[in-house]
């Protein structure tokens, strides 16, 4: 075991590890800041916001709960807990699948869409503040391109649908 720890030591001094550590710290700091803004101004967490956004961008503003869990990188029980609060607030509703009783859909309500639209201004302003205060336009284009290499989602459109 000590041999494994010793062999990892040179890696800890390489730019890859420094980049990884800085990425994690930055992600945590940015998420904490954006989450605090959404919670203070709209009573939403950043995860709540992401649920509402995914549902708003889906056909019929609905997703199978299992698909939503996959998109959010959560377990089935994690997405259930997250949706319970949104359901109590009236932002999301459950809808059974007519062809399979085992399947349940999460559906964005009109109130949920309105809450998403209200919170979007705050969220977008926060994202702009964090990134535009630290990076030039050219740096942001490069940064976005570099980070895209780490993601397999290919999803870049984070806009809220108009209808």
Residues 55-70: tens digit of each pLDDT: 999 999 999 999 999 9
Rounded CA separation 57/68 (Å): 12
Residue 41, exposed/middle/buried by CB under 10 A (0-12, 13-18, 19+)? middle
pTM: 0.80
Distances (CA, A) of 145 to 117, 127, 134, 135, 151: 28, 17, 17, 14, 10
pLDDT at 10 over 70: no
Q: What is the pLDDT of residues 17-52, one digit of tens each?
A: 888 899 999 999 999 999 999 999 999 999 999 999
């Amino acid at each position: 075991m000590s041999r494994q720890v010793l062999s990892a030591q040179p890696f800890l001094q390489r730019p890859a590890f420094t980049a990884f550590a800085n990425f994690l710290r930055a992600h945590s700091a940015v998420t904490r800041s954006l989450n605090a803004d959404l919670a203070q101004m709209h009573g939403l967490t950043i995860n709540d916001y992401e649920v509402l956004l995914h549902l708003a961008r889906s056909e019929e503003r609905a997703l199978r709960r299992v698909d939503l869990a996959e998109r959010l990188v959560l377990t089935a029980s994690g997405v259930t807990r997250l949706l319970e609060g949104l359901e109590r607030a009236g932002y999301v509703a459950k809808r059974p699948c007519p062809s399979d009783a085992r399947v349940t859909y999460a559906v964005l309500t009109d109130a949920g869409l309105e809450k998403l639209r209200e919170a979007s201004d705050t969220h977008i302003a926060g994202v702009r503040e964090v990134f535009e205060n630290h990076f030039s336009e050219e740096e942001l284009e490069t940064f976005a391109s570099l980070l895209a290499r780490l993601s397999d989602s290919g999803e870049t459109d984070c806009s809220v649908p108009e209808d």
